[in-house]
Structure 1
Amino acid sequence: SGIPDENHWWRLASSMPSCVDRKALRRMFTRLDHNCNGYLTITEIKQGFSKFLGEKQWLQMEEVVREAFDQVKALNSGTKVHDDNFVDFKEFSQLVSEIERYVYGRFIEAVERGGD
């Protein structure tokens, strides 16, 4: 079937830098921050993640990344002085955490349904 199995989600989850590993997150943030201004736009994040994940996996994750971006921006609204179209490193860490939570959730669902 066209539904990704548990191995797909496990490979995706294990390829993501854990939010606990701040050095890996910092390296990823720095690589995505092409203009070195300390902020990432949703476009920079999308381009980086699509390159990192590959086209097929990116198509499955694009909406998740956008939702995580919007969720992080809503969570931090009123506390930031920068534009809503950007995230700083702290917000990027939260964004990756939200994506990671989604991917692990899909892995658990795939295991529970028997990896259809």
Structure 2
Amino acid sequence: MKNADFTGDFGSNEFESVMALVRDYFDGLHHGEVSKLRAIFHPDAYLKAPGLRRGLEQWLDAVASRPVPSEQGRPYDYKLLSIEIIKDQAMVKLECPLFDHFYVDFLGLLKENGHWLIVNKMYTDLREEL
């Protein structure tokens, strides 16, 4: 059996690309930047929470019409909890405290045409458990 070549970067470029997308997601949420958020979501992405289903444009309209956390002096307390990348798919788990909510988001990503995009967002509010 031939020894494997372990001189590669073990996907660090992919990890960095996914991290950049996560930063854009956090920045887009915190600063209410709908254009930044639109750029990192696939157009047919769907957002799902218990009892709630929304298409991307519905969600972006909600982001555009709500107060902007940074303008209200809210802290930038978003946290990356985990990233798992397998070939051209990734799953990201995040903490996203927004206003009076404490969301945990699971973002499903696919790499297509050389770019990572969010194709699915599932989230729940842990506010009542805290």
Task: Output the TM-score relative to the length of structure 1.
Answer: 0.28
Q: Which has the higher helix share?
A: 1
Higher relative contact order at CA 8 Å, sep ≥6: structure 1 or structure 2? Answer: 1
- TM normalised by structure 2 equals 0.26
Please identify which structure carries the higher strand content: 2
